[in-house]
Amino acid sequence: MRTLVTGAAGFIGSTLVDRLLAEGHHVVGIDNLSSGDATNLDRALRGEDASAGRFTLVKLDIQNPELVDVVSGINPDVIFHLAAQVDLRASVTDPQFDARSNVLGTINLCEASRRAGVRRVVYAASGGSRYGTPARLPVEEGSPLAPLSPYAVAKLAGELYLGAYAGMYGLEPICLALANVYGPRQNPHGEAGVIAVFGSALISGRPVTVYGDGTAARDYVYVDDVVEAFVQAAHAPASVTGTYNIGTGRQTTVAEVHRLIASLQPESAPPLYADARTGELQAIALDTRRAKQDLGWSPAVDVAEGIQRTVQWLRTVPGLAPISSAGRPIGARSAGEEVRSAS
């Protein structure tokens, strides 16, 4: 397949790129490198796994009018649309910036798809934010929509535009409404992604802060399971379109996440507690029966196993190891030591 991945240098996008290359597909990645990191694409760019010549990275903003020519030039069989402004709090402080990236950028992508005659677009929607505070958990796709932040509104608008292009021009979009995704390459320095944030803090010997009493619960889905859902959506029959929840259906509390990570990191400091942050959901979990039925997808990695894999990866991230009395991070490499792959 000829594939296009927007947001290719990001956490999920780069993991998808590696998977597509490993399966023998041709991949063009588009990214403006705003929150993504080109080093996530080192393997792809070096042509490992016999992928030499099958990957190209184009540095481009999805709002740029040039996108139309770029997509036509590639003429992909499928577009995976993951590029987005992903910082929820930034969307609150600057909703117009968020909308330019996530709404206007997605419209530009819809237009580019239409003009290039691309039918299948697989979109990274937000399952954690599209339902607001659902009355019942796990929440189904048909439950009332209640986006409560500019980010949530913009991500939902992306789904709606893709749906409108399906009706007007025969696009065959599949929107994967993702739960809380975690795993290797999630930015451990960012604010989002409690597993990456807690994991990196505990590995560095810093205590973590739990906002609220630790009972807030999320549906954590491992990145490889999410990538599997994107691949299965790409191969789904043309009649399969619409929105599919991608999660585990399970609620895991913040306290449980801390306990699981601390159990892998002896002598972890106990968490510090702070007031709950206003506007944060108490609990969310996604019902994924529809994805199982139509896409044949279900998650394979449970949260204990996924956390173990993530912590293993975090231990290889330069700068995260605790400082020893000699002033060198414990476990850090010295010059000339072998550099091992991070994933």
Ligand X SMILES: NC(=O)c1ccc[n+]([C@@H]2O[C@H](COP(=O)([O-])OP(=O)(O)OC[C@H]3O[C@@H](n4cnc5c(N)ncnc54)[C@H](O)[C@@H]3O)[C@@H](O)[C@H]2O)c1
Site for ligand X in 67-106 (CB under 6 A): 82-86, 101, 105
**Residue whose CB is nearest to ligand X in the complex, by number:** 36
Active-site residue, 151 included: yes
Q: Give the nearest distance from C-beta 168 to ligand X in angstroms.
A: 23
Q: Residue ranges of the alpha helices (H) in 170-193?
A: none
**How far, in Å, CA of 93 to CA of 156, rounded?**
19
- The residue behind tokens 């939902």 is 156
Cβ atoms of 113 and 121 within 8 Å: the answer is yes
Cβ atoms of 246 and 174 within 8 Å: the answer is no
Q: Which is nearer to ligand X, 154 or 236 (CB)?
A: 154
* Binding window for ligand X (CB under 6 A); candidates: 3-11, 131-139, 229-237, 278-286: 3-11
Site for ligand X in 25-44 (CB under 6 A): 31-36
Helix axes 11-22, 223-235, angle to 10 degrees: 60
* Binding window for ligand X (CB under 6 A); candidates: 71-79, 113-121, 176-184, 298-306: 176-184
Handedness of CA 211, 215, 219, 224 (dihedral sign): positive
Q: Which is nearer to ligand X, 79 or 181 (CB)?
A: 181
Q: Which is nearer to ligand X, 196 or 264 (CB)?
A: 196
| Contact letters for ligand X, residues 147-166 (x by CB under 6 A) | --------x-----------
Q: Which amino acid is at 168?
A: M
Furthest-apart CA pair in the chain: how many Å? 65
* Binding window for ligand X (CB under 6 A); candidates: 11-19, 114-122, 289-297, 315-323: 11-19
By CB under 6 A, residue 124 contacts ligand X: yes
**How far, in Å, CA of 155 to CA of 129, rounded?**
9
By CB under 6 A, residue 63 contacts ligand X: yes
> Per DSSP, what are the bridge partners of residue 174?
122, 242
By CB under 6 A, residue 126 contacts ligand X: yes
**H/E element, 333:** none
Q: Which is nearer to ligand X, 269 or 300 (CB)?
A: 300
Q: Give the nearest distance from C-beta 84 to ligand X in angstroms.
A: 3
SS (H, E, C) 56-93: EEEECCCCCCCHHHHHHHHCCCEEEECCCCCCHHHHHH
Catalytic residue chosen out of the listed positions 123, 131, 151, 161? 151
Contacts with ligand X, residue ranges (CB under 6 A): 7, 9-13, 31-36, 61-63, 82-86, 101, 105, 124, 126, 128, 155, 178, 180-181
Known catalytic residues?
Answer: 151
